[in-house]
Structure 1
Amino acid sequence: MTSIYNFKRIAPVPDATDFLDIVLSKTQRKTPTVVHPGYKITRIRQFYMRKVKFTQDTFDEKLRQILEEFPVLDNVHPFYADLMNVLYDKDHYKLALGQINTARHLIDAVAKDYVRLLKFGDSLYRCKQLKRASLGRMATIMKRQKDSLSYLEQVRQHLARLPSIDPNTRTLIVCGFPNVGKSSFMNKVTRADVDVQPYAFTTKSLFVGHMDYKYLRWQ
């Protein structure tokens, strides 16, 4: 079990509109763009099947990246699991990741269905309509993930601001009533730089500092 997690490595999560733009523009750039009516029907089918498969692969790559980069609460140290539950509500967090995973499987199923239909496309027009319908259904699935993507981006931004904490090292917890000098104490004895205000209820985040005492490192 890893004790320190580098949450800053999690890539930004685009909103649903940007997500679609990224995927569809990549499909346009990376796959052939011209097909002629004079081509054999087998070549026309392959042209559109390739576009559907490439779009599905790109969706899968982007969605899988989100699922792999965000921490799985059951696999992280209990300290981080409890902290994330307090900050983000673990049920909401798990639901959002679950919906992203479901969308990935739905897009995969749509692509397989339309690739199967394209194998029997009997004209350029028919194949083009099938390709358009498949990409439209994939886009609809992603648009429904708008709230989950937005929520996960908020979580990512917050996680990136969390200090690096090693739950397995020697730890002193400074807590107490408001405005009694906790932040000032941390600034004095550690290398932390906590903003200190002259009025109560001003420290609203988790702060971590490190110090050496008798050749031992404390956090």
Structure 2
Amino acid sequence: MFKEIPPFTKKMIIDTAFRKASKKSRNDFEKVTLASDTISSMLEKIVKRYPSFQQMDTFQRELIDLLVGEDEIRHNLGAVQWASNMVKKIKREYLRKMRNNKDKAFQLRKQCYARYVSILDQIEENLEFLREARKKLVNLPSVNPGLFTVVLAGFPNVGKTSLLKALTGSEPEIQSYPFTTQGINLGYMEYRHTKIQIVDTPGLLDRPFSERNWIEKQAISALTHLADVIVYIFDVSETCGYSAADQENLLQDIKNEFNTPFIIVNNKCDLSRSEYVNISAETGKGVEILKEKIKEYSKSKS
């Protein structure tokens, strides 16, 4: 949705408006009108193409607020809308003057153009902010908050990517996530003519919270609005390089953040533990049992 926002600069707007007025207008009256209409149209296109925050889900809204600031976007859009209104007002003012002083139409049109430019000068920083915001927002992941969503968690090397492939039967999509250099991995399970969304977030739910900076903690907070179930992958064998105690501590960290159901999975089923769902993502053993558990949660949510 953010790709539809036009990345107009002050120069682009001025050049487009005056060039169009010069080519398509027969007199100074038409030039004043067409230049104004073009400027207002381009400014209002920026305002209208920004999606409504009220219609966004909480996950998307928190990400936007964290990345660029919802209040800052509102403020800068307000400045752009003000400029559009002012340009229309100036147009009406100068059309009246030109009708009353037809012999001075050329000079008045020049004055009017200068006023248009002055207004755009005043919002140059606002336009630049919105351009930079757009660059960041187009990189947000195309996660569908309307789907039942499973978030995978656990230390690195416990088999999250392998489990994602085993659950979905395909290679995951790699989506950009501005708060981690690794992005997020996304896949889908088919269930009852709809999809269950499976999300793996490398760099976020894979180490103790005490090691995180403020931005990472806020990014995790946003995930709490997305996750319907957390699948925590445990490596009882400790071949992942992390002790069972460390893995238990990370699990407790995540439980403290997420008020959602947890499914605890042991991805080394040769060392089974009765309290876990014992699977092997590599061989597929136990994966169907895990799928059924996920579907049960999905059923209860729908």
- Cα 1:136–1:193, aligned 2, differ >3 Å: closer, same or farther? same
Q: Structure 2 CA distance, aligned partners of 1:147 and 1:184? A: 47
Unaligned runs of at least 5 residues, structure 2: 198-302
Q: What is the TM-score with the length of structure 1 in the denominator?
A: 0.75
The residue identity in structure 1 corresponding to 2:138 is A
The structural deviation recorded for 1:177 is 5.7
The residue identity in structure 2 corresponding to 1:96 is N
Match of 1:30 in 2: 24
- Cα 1:74–1:11, aligned 2, differ >3 Å: closer, same or farther? closer
Q: Structure 2 CA distance, aligned partners of 1:24 and 1:180? A: 61
For residue 174 of structure 1, give the secondary structure of its aligned residue in structure 2.
Answer: strand
The structural deviation recorded for 1:75 is 2.9
The residue identity in structure 1 corresponding to 2:62 is D
Larger CA deviation: 13-22 vs 128-137? 13-22
Q: Structure 2 CA distance, aligned partners of 1:159 and 1:17? A: 23
Kept in 2: contact 1:56–1:108 (CA 8 A)? yes
1:121 paired with 2:115, answer: no
The structural deviation recorded for 1:178 is 6.7
CA offsets 1:145-178 (integer angstroms, 9 cap, x no match)? 2222122122222332333222121101234567
Q: Structure 2 CA distance, aligned partners of 1:182 and 1:210? A: 14
- Cα 1:159–1:210, aligned 2, differ >3 Å: closer, same or farther? farther
Q: How many residues align?
A: 191
Match of 1:167 in 2: 145
- Cα 1:89–1:117, aligned 2, differ >3 Å: closer, same or farther? same
Q: Structure 2 CA distance, aligned partners of 1:103 and 1:138? A: 9
The residue identity in structure 1 corresponding to 2:133 is V
- Cα 1:209–1:149, aligned 2, differ >3 Å: closer, same or farther? farther
Kept in 2: contact 1:170–1:218 (CA 8 A)? yes
- Cα 1:152–1:178, aligned 2, differ >3 Å: closer, same or farther? farther
Match of 2:124 in 1: 146
- Cα 1:172–1:111, aligned 2, differ >3 Å: closer, same or farther? same
Return the match for 1:7 from 2, 17, 33: 2
The structural deviation recorded for 1:7 is 3.0
Q: Structure 1 CA distance, aligned partners of 2:157 and 2:105? A: 70
CA offsets 1:21-78 (integer angstroms, 9 cap, x no match)? 111111112112xxxxxxxxxxxxxx22211111111112111211111112123223
The residue identity in structure 1 corresponding to 2:51 is P
Return the match for 1:85 from 54, 65, 81: 65
Equivalences for 1:34-49 in 2 at 5 Å?
A: 47-49=27-29
Q: What is the TM-score with the length of structure 2 in the denominator?
A: 0.56
For residue 195 of structure 2, give the secondary structure of its aligned residue in structure 1.
Answer: strand
Q: Please tell me whether Structure 1 or Structure 2 has the larger radius of gyration of its CA atoms.
A: 2
Q: Structure 1 CA distance, aligned partners of 2:191 and 2:65? A: 33
The structural deviation recorded for 1:180 is 6.2
Match of 1:44 in 2: none
The structure with more strand, counted as a fraction of residues: 2
1:132 paired with 2:110, answer: yes
Match of 1:36 in 2: none
For residue 171 of structure 1, give the secondary structure of its aligned residue in structure 2.
Answer: strand
Q: Structure 2 CA distance, aligned partners of 1:151 and 1:99? A: 11
Match of 2:88 in 1: 108
- Cα 1:183–1:65, aligned 2, differ >3 Å: closer, same or farther? farther
For residue 187 of structure 2, give the secondary structure of its aligned residue in structure 1.
Answer: coil
The structural deviation recorded for 1:181 is 6.0
